[in-house]
Homo-oligomer: A and B are copies of this chain.
Amino acid sequence: MAQVVPDLVSLQNPVFRSYLFYCSILVIKMMGMAILTSVQRYKNKAFVNPEDVKSLKIKPKTDENVERVRRAHLNDLENIPIFFVSAFLYMMTSPTEYMAKTLFFAFTVARIVHSIVYAVVIIPQPARGLSFGIGFLITGYMALTTLLHVL
């Protein structure tokens, strides 16, 4: 309660360093989805804007391989930005180093697995459901912990 944050928001705080580390990885991972979308668009010649297909002399169209990557990307948008916030809030509650690092690590691995089984090597359920669920529970746990801490 009497915690002053300077000790928390500092590169000398191992939890904060860990936050920077995993957030960087997750940002790069999300950027990977945009690259993957482009790759699938070119591979399947599936573009959605008329100005994108002018020089290719084809019509705009949608393609299931593109849509799949886009769904995976949207799922990232639904889950990773709230992790960035939830993890930041949680960090302010002075969690133990071990606990915080484990949660950050597990979330990052779960989301990378999620993208792979959704959009790269499609693996039957419950692979995708499980990896989604692990990330989801971690975000929820951190938000709830923060809520109870500041009440």
Contact = CB atoms under 8 A, between A and B. Distances in A.
Interface of A: 1-6, 9-12, 16-17, 20-21, 23-25, 27-28, 30-31, 33-34, 48-49, 51-52, 54-55, 68, 71, 73, 77-79, 81-82, 84-86, 89, 92-93, 122-125, 128, 136, 139-140, 143-144, 146-147, 149-151
A16 B149 CA distance: 13
A51 B125 CA distance: 6
Interface class of chain A by DSSP? helix
A136 B31 contact: yes
Q: How many copies does the complex hold?
A: 3
Contact of A140 (B3, B28, B123, B151): B28
Contacts of A12: 1-4
B89 A20 contact: yes
A4 B3 contact: no
Contacts of A28: 140, 143-144, 147
A11 to B, nearest CB: 5
Contacts of A11: 1, 3-5, 92, 150
B31 A140 contact: yes
